[in-house]
């Protein structure tokens, strides 16, 4: 139970940091004199590093253990937030040229992208180590719930601290991973399974459908988070501070519903990974449809709540499905592959979203609705993903 608490808190704090920072990106970018496209590249930079490093962290956690990788990830996140806030502070003071400012912010996000998958991959693998196959979805739902709560607590705290300044929340994001790092260092036992390399290539084939689902779902989520700031500001005529607060409230709705669904529906009903995906993906699509159909703050928040419910069902669906598709000694590698798929989606989402936003504010969201509609058809009709539900690798 203690190990689960540490895993939960580590992932929670990781997502709290992201939840604090993400609502601030759009207003800060405009305050710094950079463009929407610049924002897309800055956000996508971290996703690019997630893509490059996720599988590596997962494999390393299989070899050297989950704890060392988790410690590295928490330290790296604190360093990345520290660099971001320092560069932004100097940029607001006019001490950097736009090109230099853009480059330094890009580097800080690259560091974040390298560090965060270490936290996520090692936590997912550790959870797989300490749960049975029967309880795997429930165990993974704790990680998903930490994600959701992070998106609740992060934006809420961020919105409160913006009353002091736009940068005040980011200073908190620097401190929190360091505190959790101490708990991990002194309160967590290491977990280091044996790896039988000759089995890897055959065992990993079963997770491919879940990798595809993870990529599309997370692309939709991250793209929505990044473009929401511009969408709110342009549709409702808000100031930079008002935009940060409105986006923070919207992300609160996502996170609250994610946590609520995973603490109740997922953990109590023990739904299969396939059923979680069959429910979650269409609910997410309906939320996006509501977002583009009305231009009122109340319907915006309702739309984000529906999206949160959908993602709250989908995340434990593809994480537990991937975990159950491979053997025990491959849990770190499987977690790394899921994180890499999330990285691909998180890379494509901001780039596509900010590019399409320049065509019209609604265009990025209609593209996501189409993709999620196709994905809904896939998870309901694919024989392959149905077959994976009946074969668990021992």
Rounded distance between C-alpha atoms, residue 217 and residue 282, angstroms? 11
Query: What is the mean pLDDT of the segment spanning 61-74?
Result: 92
Q: What is the pLDDT of residue 78?
A: 96
Q: Which of 142-146, 278-282, 297-301, 352-356 has the highest mean pLDDT?
A: 278-282
Quick one: what percent of the chain has pLDDT higher than 70? Answer: 93
Confidence check: pLDDT of 84 > 60: yes
Quick one: what percent of the chain has pLDDT higher than 90? Answer: 33
Q: Where are the domains of the chain?
A: 2-190+198-388
Q: What is the pLDDT of residue 376?
A: 95
Query: What is the mean pLDDT of the segment spanning 230-248?
Result: 81
Query: What is the mean pLDDT of the segment spanning 180-189?
Result: 91
Rounded distance between C-alpha atoms, residue 231 and residue 295, angstroms? 10
Q: What is the pLDDT of residue 194?
A: 53
- Fold classified for 2-190+198-388: Growth Hormone; Chain: A; (1.20.1250)
CB within 8 A of 113, min separation 6: which ones? 45, 46, 47, 48, 49, 50, 52, 53, 343
Q: What is the mean pLDDT of the chain?
A: 84
Q: Write a three-state SS string for the chain.
A: CHHHHHHHHHHHHHHHHHHHHHHHHHHHHHHCCCCHHHHHHHHHHHHHHHHHHHHHHHHHHHHHCHHHHHHHHHHHHHHHHHHHHHHHHHHHCCCCCHHHHHHHHHHHHHHHHHHHHHHHHHHHHHHHHCCCCCCHHHHHHHHHHHHHHHHHHHHHHHHHHCCCCCCHHHHHHHHHHHHHHHHHHHHCCCCCCCCCHHHHHHHHHHHHHHHHHHHHHHHHHHHHHHHHHHHHHHHHCCCHHHHHHHHHHHHHHHHHHHHHHHHHHHHHHCCCHHHHHHHHHHHHHHHHHHHHHCCCHHHHHHHHHHHHHHHHHHHHHHHHHHHHCCCHHHHHHHHHHHHHHHHHHHHHHHHHHHHHHCCCCCHHHHHHHHHHHHHHHHHHHCHHHHHHCCCCCC
Q: Which of 175-189, 200-214, 230-244, 362-376 has the lowest mean pLDDT?
A: 200-214
- Tell me: the pLDDT tens digits for 254-293? 888 988 898 888 777 778 888 999 999 999 999 999 998 8
Closest of 392, 380, 342, 356 to residue 116, by C-alpha: 342
- Tell me: the pLDDT tens digits for 103-115? 999 999 999 999 9
Distances (CA, A) of 350 to 95, 225, 339: 27, 9, 17
In this prediction, residue 205 has a pLDDT band, given cuts at 50, 70 and 90, of: low
Q: What is the pLDDT of residue 377?
A: 94
In this prediction, residue 306 has a pLDDT band, given cuts at 50, 70 and 90, of: very high
In total, the chain counts a number of residues equal to 394
Q: Which of 28-32, 182-186, 329-333 has the lowest mean pLDDT?
A: 329-333
Query: What is the mean pLDDT of the segment spanning 217-229?
Result: 87
Q: What is the pLDDT of residue 394?
A: 38
**What does pTM read for this prediction?**
0.72
In this prediction, residue 204 has a pLDDT band, given cuts at 50, 70 and 90, of: low
């Amino acid at each position: 139970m203690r190990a689960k608490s540490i895993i939960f808190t580590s992932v929670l704090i990781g997502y709290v940091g992201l939840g604090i920072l993400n609502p601030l990106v759009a207003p800060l970018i405009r305050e710094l004199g950079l463009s929407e496209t610049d924002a897309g590249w800055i956000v996508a930079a971290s996703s690019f590093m997630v893509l490059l490093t996720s599988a590596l962290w997962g494999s390393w956690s299989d070899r050297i253990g989950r704890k060392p990788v988790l410690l590295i990830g928490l330290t790296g996140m604190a360093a990345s937030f520290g660099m971001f806030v320092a560069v932004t502070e100097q940029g607001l003071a006019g001490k950097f040229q736009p090109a230099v400012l853009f480059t330094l912010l890009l580097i800080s996000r690259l560091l974040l992208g390298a560090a965060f998958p270490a936290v996520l991959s090692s936590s997912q693998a550790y959870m797989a180590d300490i749960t049975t196959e029967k309880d795997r979805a429930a165990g993974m739902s704790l990680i998903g719930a930490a994600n959701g709560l992070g998106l609740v607590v992060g934006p809420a705290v961020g919105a409160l601290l913006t009353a002091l300044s736009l940068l005040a929340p980011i200073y908190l994001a620097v401190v929190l991973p360091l505190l959790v790092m101490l708990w991990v260092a002194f309160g967590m036992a290491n977990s280091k399974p044996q790896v039988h390399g000759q089995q890897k290539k055959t065992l990993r084939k079963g997770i491919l459908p879940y990798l595809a689902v993870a990529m599309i779902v997370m692309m939709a989520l991250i793209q929505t988070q990044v473009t929401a700031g511009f969408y709110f500001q342009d549709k409702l005529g808000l100031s930079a501070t008002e935009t940060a607060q409105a986006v923070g409230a919207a992300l609160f709705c996502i996170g609250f519903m994610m946590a609520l669904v995973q603490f109740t529906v997922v953990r109590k009903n023990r739904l299969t990974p396939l059923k979680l995906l069959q429910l979650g993906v269409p609910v997410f699509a309906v939320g996006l449809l509501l977002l583009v159909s009305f231009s009122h703050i109340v319907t915006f928040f309702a739309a984000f709540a529906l999206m949160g419910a959908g993602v709250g069902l989908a995340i434990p669906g593809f994480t537990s499905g991937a975990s159950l598709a491979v053997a025990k000694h491959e849990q770190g590698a499987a977690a790394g592959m899921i994180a890499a798929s999330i990285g691909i989606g998180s890379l494509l989402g901001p780039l596509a979203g900010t590019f399409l936003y320049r065509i019209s504010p609604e265009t990025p969201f209609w593209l996501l609705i189409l993709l999620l509609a196709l994905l809904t058809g896939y998870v309901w009709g694919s024989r392959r993903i149905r077959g994976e539900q009946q074969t668990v690798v021992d």
